[in-house]
Amino acid sequence: MISTWSGAAGRTPGAARGTSAPMTYGLIALCALIFALGPASGLVPGYGSGDALLAAQRAYFRHWGVVPAELFGKPAGAALTPATALFVHGSWVHLLGNMLFLFVFGAMTEERMGRVEFTLFYVGCGYLALLGYAAANATSGQSLVGASGAVSAVLGAFLYLFPRARVTSLLPFLFFLPLRFPAWVVLPLWAALQWLAAGRASDGPGVAYLAHLVGFGLGFGYAWVRYGRGTRVKAAPAPVTEGEKQP
């Protein structure tokens, strides 16, 4: 989900200790299990190899992912694909990238929202993020899969709830030195880069940056409306969301 310019390595304050986040870890485990059992993992010999494996992957993504050109005006079952697509990933890198950011930012957000609300928030915002991308690319025949929209929503909510929490980031233009910045610096910069990338994105296979932006905006807006200015949490200093569309 997160573009190659940056990464998060290390937990935010409070998330590494004393935090109960069963839904965050459950979502990570579920996505990992679904991926391991699918054709993209390469772990199930029943899908075959070579051209047979590629055909199985395309059919799998088309069945469980969002195909914008088929989403609108089709049978009611197609309306479920923005939900099922949240749990399908196209590669190991795709899965690990999304789950890393869910692991880093999800625990504190879940602790603040509560288990049930966090789960509904995650699935609801992820659904709407993929739906928004599909509406903006209604003629696209590419399959869209991945938890990026939902994880981006978690980033948006985290930014509002914990703007001063410090996040360890690796920036290539600073020789990949691990530096700690507050969330209000890292996350808006990430969102800005998604915006720039979305303006250059084509309809071909790649990253659905628009879904990232929609999810991020939904997450931030939800936290703003739901919790208000009086509920932000000040995080005390403590020691230490990619390829969406499949061919």
The 3-class secondary structure across 31-100, one letter per residue, is HHHHHHHCHHHCCCHHHCCCHHHHHHHHHHHHHHCECHHHHCCCCHHHHHHHHHHHHCCCCHHHHHHHHH
| pLDDT mean across residues, the chain | 78
- Residue-wise pLDDT for 124-154, tens only, equals 999 999 999 998 888 888 889 999 999 999 9
- Residue-wise pLDDT for 43-96, tens only, equals 999 998 889 999 999 999 999 999 888 887 666 668 889 999 999 999 999 999
- Residue-wise pLDDT for 4-26, tens only, equals 233 343 444 444 444 589 999 99
Catalytic residue among 89, 143, 169, 212: 212
> Who's near 152: CB < 8 A, 6+ residues apart?
1, 129, 194, 211, 212, 213, 214, 215, 216, 219, 241
Our answer to whether residue 148 is catalytic in this structure is yes
Residue 65 · residue 39 · CB < 8 Å: no
- Residue-wise pLDDT for 217-237, tens only, equals 999 999 999 998 655 555 444
pTM, 2 dp: 0.80
Our answer to whether residue 212 is catalytic in this structure is yes
| CA distances in angstroms from 203 to 135, 139, 223, 227, listed in the order given | 13, 9, 31, 37
> Helix (H) and strand (E) counts for the chain?
9, 4
Catalytic residue among 140, 148, 152, 169: 148
